Structure 1
Amino acid sequence: MPSAFEQVVRNTLQELDCGRELVPVRSLGHSASFQPYCLLVKEPCGSVFWKPRFQGVELSIRDILEPDAPEPDAVQAGPFHFHDAVDGRLQGSVELAAPGQGQLAGEAAMSSSSSASMHLCLLSVPPCTWTALRQERRLRRPEPQILRQLRRQGRNLYVVTKALRTQREVEVTSTQKREGAGRFMLPTTMCLQGKGQGHLSHKRTITIPSGSILAFQPALLTMGSDWEVVLFPDKRQKTFGPPQEGFLSLGFEIFHRGSGGRIQSDAAAWGSAPAEDWQGLQAEVAERAKGLCILSGELCGQLRGGLVEVLPEEEALRGLEELLEQGLRSGHVPPQSGPVGIILGCLSLSDGRLVEELTEIVLYLLGALAALSDTQRGLLAWGLETRALQAPLSLVGSVLEQSTPWQLRQPVSLPAWLLGSSWSTEAPAWTLLEECGLELRGDAPHVSWEPEAQGQLCALYACLALLSRLGEAQ
């Protein structure tokens, strides 16, 4: 299941953010980085099909402006009281019998419950506050070192303009219980028969402190001779780029989670941007997967082995991504040890220069992996090592195809064979889907499609397709 924190955020935004203006915070540990006025950078994601990631830079806007003074208080809306309680149970059974050939029978049940009660408020910085700040304060000179680094890298900088914050401490409890039983009887000279049963219970409790941010709204910050929070930016507008003529200031470049506000991808490097639907996703991923064909079977094996080691390690993946981005800018990468060194060796020539086409594909994969949970990455590592990714790939593809258009909530029925040998929530293929927030419904293979799952599920499909291609190489 998704983390208890992620589930609470998702359920809350369904009620309080119908316009999908807010970006959910994915980790409680990073919540403090998304307070109003905090500065953020956007990590590359490489595709329009999954959402960009924002990361705090440990600065607020007062740290880059002078004179140094506290920011004005944000305007508060609320409080909102949100209580969410879920209690459900699913049960099914199957029996197979043939005259004179024996009997097999089994049954399974799953129950789950969760409860959370929250008091929330929405903090926002209105346009008039930005107007006043811009008139009163100028960019600090010399600028902080982190701004110089971002300028050299050509990275954009964002500022938090809205934040959904808890007003009281919240305790979230979720429980899951799974039970199963089976029996068999085989008519032989000794008449063999047997039976078995088991259960698994799991309870999680987390405490979300008062003042934690659950979701936020970022805006583009531009810096030239002066600074601005941008209203209707040209798509080419950059934080450190030259000012655009006819450019309107004092507003927000808002990143919606809906289809109208996706960030432009690096499609220019791969031809025209695909349509943002199931066919477009297939075409985009197939184009990347085709680029892996230039690798020999031996190099595919080495790359596969290195990825198996780093997939479960978020820090290793982030470090690999930074090395590849730096390598593309500088033209070469320094030697590395361990699985990261193996991966870099597969992507570079003897003189240390990266093969750009292969590096872009791996960066695309890393961007998709960053959209997944730790559990999903661990299962992908297991599937890559055992070459058991084809069934999950078919399952995820079937869900995405049948749920089109992705913006509508709707039921999706699935063939049971896609889930492996049994229709069970223990199956790895199902767990991959469950981590995206899709839950089992009814006695048959059936899910209720949630539009919020689209980005993560598209990223999962891309990962499965690319890793499957590596697994096919001999």
Structure 2
Amino acid sequence: MFKKLTKFIVNEMDPGEELVPVESIAHNEHFRPLCLLIKKRKPKRIFHPDPYYQHSRFTLQDVLLPGKDTKMTECIQEDSSQFTLTKTSADQADGGLSISLDPASVELKGAASLSKEFSITPQKKGISLESLEALRREREINMDHSFIRQLQKRDISLYLVTEILEASEEAIYKESTKADGGFKTKLYATLCAQSTREDKQSIVIPKGCTLAFRTIQIHIRDGAWDLDYFPAEAVRTAAYVADGPSLGKLGVVVTEVKYSCRIFSELSPDLLLTILNAIKAVMRDKNLLQELSQKMEKVAEQNDGCELKTDSPDLQALFSTLQHSPRDRLLQLAEGITYVLDALHELLEDQLLLLLESLKRKIVSQQLKLVEILLKHGLDKGKESFHVDAELLSFPHEEEQMLTIDLVELSGVQLQEDGSAVPRDQPFEAVAALFVALYTLNLLSGSK
């Protein structure tokens, strides 16, 4: 919920895309002015255009040699201007659902509604570049600091938080799903009889919580440090962009996923199945998803090899195979798996469960065609409605149709059985992540 809120705030307040939304409220205090961040070694994704940052738990103050007794916090300035963002939305859907239960079959009919509500007042806070320049001339980096020594050894880029958006007052973000007459609240999670059910979720955003941040890169050499005011733009591989622009944004998504997953087309069916089983396991368990992501990132970072060990039997087969792979092949496999995991990380937990059910029912390939059509209709153009071929929503069983509609609506596109579609909240990135997940699951499962 917090991630959705901060993304919305950045989209509304920073169309120039210089601010990066904070993705976890639990770590928001590590993205304050003067905090040091590590930029992960992976490119921006079409479904995640912001850089991937990892907090270090250190600030600039922690790694500087002693100097004048000046409190660095006094250099942090607060912008007096404030902007209140308010959002209230409600969507209503009518329909039915038939779910087969052993030994009985249950018919569920009714209506469902989804509402979102919040009002928040962000405020800017940051340190002036003039203050940073004065500090740079006055104090050197402590090259004996263990954190700095490890950075230098592993050649990791370091970034400094210079500006943030924070909540100036406590705010509450609410979501409510209401189901009447037995209509499902969460598919395959809760079945209720003839009654009314309301599922409410809310999150309290405390005063001073960091919502988004801006960074500048720091270069360190022999104790001296410089600020990179004009960072070089990343150059994408020629093979990656070859045919993307001709097909618009859909083309960019398709070429990105094909390039990032190119290694999978070279693998044996047995190895594809091993990877698929590991992916299915992490879709059920967020802790496993995090573990696998961290291990794959370490493979790319450590040139002297990475020992792949796990206590999870669900990952053991994959790790054993990767451990005995040649270095070049291991890097390609880690790159492809990391790309898939990044896409899954963008999806909601309910979507991951729906995707697992879709795999079981063997309807992923049809869902992939549907989402591909959705991406052809500029989903970044607001709430312009459009139609897709109703045949793409025609499945052998009614519950498969409802499952698919739920899957797509959780990415921000409301669908009706007749093929009408209404985008909500400019959902291109969310739908692109869903496309990547469906594409890779379809590829790994050997579906046609």
Please tell me whether the aligned partners of residues 413 and 424 of structure 2 are also in contact (alpha carbons under 8 angstroms).
yes
Matched, 1:340 2:315: yes
2:346 partner SS = coil
Matched, 1:54 2:26: no
Please tell me whether the aligned partners of residues 161 and 218 of structure 1 are also in contact (alpha carbons under 8 angstroms).
yes
Distance 1:376 1:79 in 2: 39
Corresponding residue to 1:42 among 12, 31, 39: 39
Shift, 1:60, TM fit: 1.1
Shift, 1:148, TM fit: 2.6
Structure 1 residues 426 and 148: alpha-carbon distance in aligned structure 2, compared to 1, 3 A threshold: farther
Please tell me whether the aligned partners of residues 347 and 355 of structure 1 are also in contact (alpha carbons under 8 angstroms).
yes
1:26 partner SS = coil
Structure 1 residues 199 and 426: alpha-carbon distance in aligned structure 2, compared to 1, 3 A threshold: farther
Please tell me whether the aligned partners of residues 76 and 124 of structure 1 are also in contact (alpha carbons under 8 angstroms).
yes
Shift, 1:34, TM fit: 1.2
Corresponding residue to 2:132 among 123, 130, 133: 130
Distance 2:422 2:77 in 1: 40
1:365 partner SS = helix
Task: State the partner residue of 1:150.
Answer: 151
Matched, 1:178 2:179: yes
Corresponding residue to 1:399 among 355, 374, 380: 374
Query: After superposition, what is the alpha-carbon deviation per residue over 1:203-235, rounded to whole angstroms, capped at 9, x for unaligned?
Result: 122211111011111222221242122111234
Query: After superposition, what is the alpha-carbon deviation per residue over 1:405-436, rounded to whole angstroms, capped at 9, x for unaligned?
Result: x4666434334444465999994434443444
Matched, 1:303 2:275: yes
Query: After superposition, what is the alpha-carbon deviation per residue over 1:8-43, rounded to whole angstroms, capped at 9, x for unaligned?
Result: 334433443343322112221121121111111223
1:324 partner SS = helix
Letter in 2 for 1:228: D
Structure 1 residues 42 and 411: alpha-carbon distance in aligned structure 2, compared to 1, 3 A threshold: farther
Task: State the partner residue of 2:227.
Answer: 229
Matched, 1:6 2:7: no
Moved more, 131-140 or 370-379: 370-379
Please tell me whether the aligned partners of residues 65 and 140 of structure 2 are also in contact (alpha carbons under 8 angstroms).
yes
Question: Which structure's residues are more often helix, by fraction?
Answer: 2
Please tell me whether the aligned partners of residues 35 and 163 of structure 1 are also in contact (alpha carbons under 8 angstroms).
yes
Structure 1 residues 293 and 56: alpha-carbon distance in aligned structure 2, compared to 1, 3 A threshold: same
Structure 1 residues 42 and 76: alpha-carbon distance in aligned structure 2, compared to 1, 3 A threshold: same
- Structure with greater Cα Rg: 1
**Matching of residues 166-245 of structure 1 within 5 Å:** 166-179=167-180, 199-225=196-222, 226-235=224-233
Structure 1 residues 425 and 84: alpha-carbon distance in aligned structure 2, compared to 1, 3 A threshold: farther
Task: State the partner residue of 2:64.
Answer: 65
Please tell me whether the aligned partners of residues 387 and 468 of structure 1 are also in contact (alpha carbons under 8 angstroms).
no
Higher relative contact order (CA 8 A, sep 6+): 1
Please tell me whether the aligned partners of residues 92 and 114 of structure 2 are also in contact (alpha carbons under 8 angstroms).
no
Please tell me whether the aligned partners of residues 262 and 336 of structure 2 are also in contact (alpha carbons under 8 angstroms).
no
Distance 2:77 2:272 in 1: 54
Distance 2:5 2:257 in 1: 31
Query: After superposition, what is the alpha-carbon deviation per residue over 1:22-75, rounded to whole angstroms, capped at 9, x for unaligned?
Result: 211222112112111111122344454132322211011111212265323322
Corresponding residue to 2:118 among 116, 120, 124: 116
Shift, 1:283, TM fit: 2.3
* CA RMSD, Structure 1 to Structure 2 (Å): 3.6
Task: State the partner residue of 2:102.
Answer: none
Letter in 2 for 1:109: A
Distance 2:55 2:17 in 1: 21
Shift, 1:202, TM fit: 1.0
Distance 2:179 2:391 in 1: 21
Moved more, 321-330 or 125-134: 321-330
Please tell me whether the aligned partners of residues 158 and 218 of structure 1 are also in contact (alpha carbons under 8 angstroms).
yes
Please tell me whether the aligned partners of residues 36 and 158 of structure 2 are also in contact (alpha carbons under 8 angstroms).
yes
Query: After superposition, what is the alpha-carbon deviation per residue over 1:321-365, rounded to whole angstroms, capped at 9, x for unaligned?
Result: 333344452346345452222112343537899544333322322
1:282 partner SS = helix
Please tell me whether the aligned partners of residues 289 and 469 of structure 1 are also in contact (alpha carbons under 8 angstroms).
no
Q: Which runs of 5+ in 1 are unaligned?
A: 95-104, 183-195, 236-262
Moved more, 210-219 or 200-209: 200-209
Distance 1:462 1:35 in 2: 33
Distance 2:390 2:398 in 1: 6
**Equivalent residues, number:** 416
Please tell me whether the aligned partners of residues 159 and 220 of structure 1 are also in contact (alpha carbons under 8 angstroms).
yes
Distance 2:16 2:328 in 1: 46
Structure 1 residues 74 and 88: alpha-carbon distance in aligned structure 2, compared to 1, 3 A threshold: same
Task: State the partner residue of 1:74.
Answer: 76
1:347 partner SS = helix
Structure 1 residues 295 and 348: alpha-carbon distance in aligned structure 2, compared to 1, 3 A threshold: farther
1:139 partner SS = coil
Please tell me whether the aligned partners of residues 108 and 181 of structure 1 are also in contact (alpha carbons under 8 angstroms).
yes
Distance 2:400 2:447 in 1: 30
Please tell me whether the aligned partners of residues 344 and 433 of structure 2 are also in contact (alpha carbons under 8 angstroms).
yes
Please tell me whether the aligned partners of residues 111 and 177 of structure 1 are also in contact (alpha carbons under 8 angstroms).
yes
2:118 partner SS = strand
Moved more, 330-339 or 460-469: 330-339
TM-score when scaled to structure 1?
0.75
Letter in 1 for 2:79: A
Letter in 1 for 2:252: G
Letter in 1 for 2:439: A
2:445 partner SS = helix
Query: After superposition, what is the alpha-carbon deviation per residue over 1:174-211, rounded to whole angstroms, capped at 9, x for unaligned?
Result: 322133589xxxxxxxxxxxxx9554321122211111
Corresponding residue to 1:469 among 434, 443, 447: 443
Structure 1 residues 231 and 335: alpha-carbon distance in aligned structure 2, compared to 1, 3 A threshold: closer
Distance 1:271 1:90 in 2: 41
Please tell me whether the aligned partners of residues 46 and 363 of structure 1 are also in contact (alpha carbons under 8 angstroms).
no
Task: State the partner residue of 1:413.
Answer: 387
Q: Which runs of 5+ in 2 are unaligned?
A: 97-106, 184-192
1:472 partner SS = coil
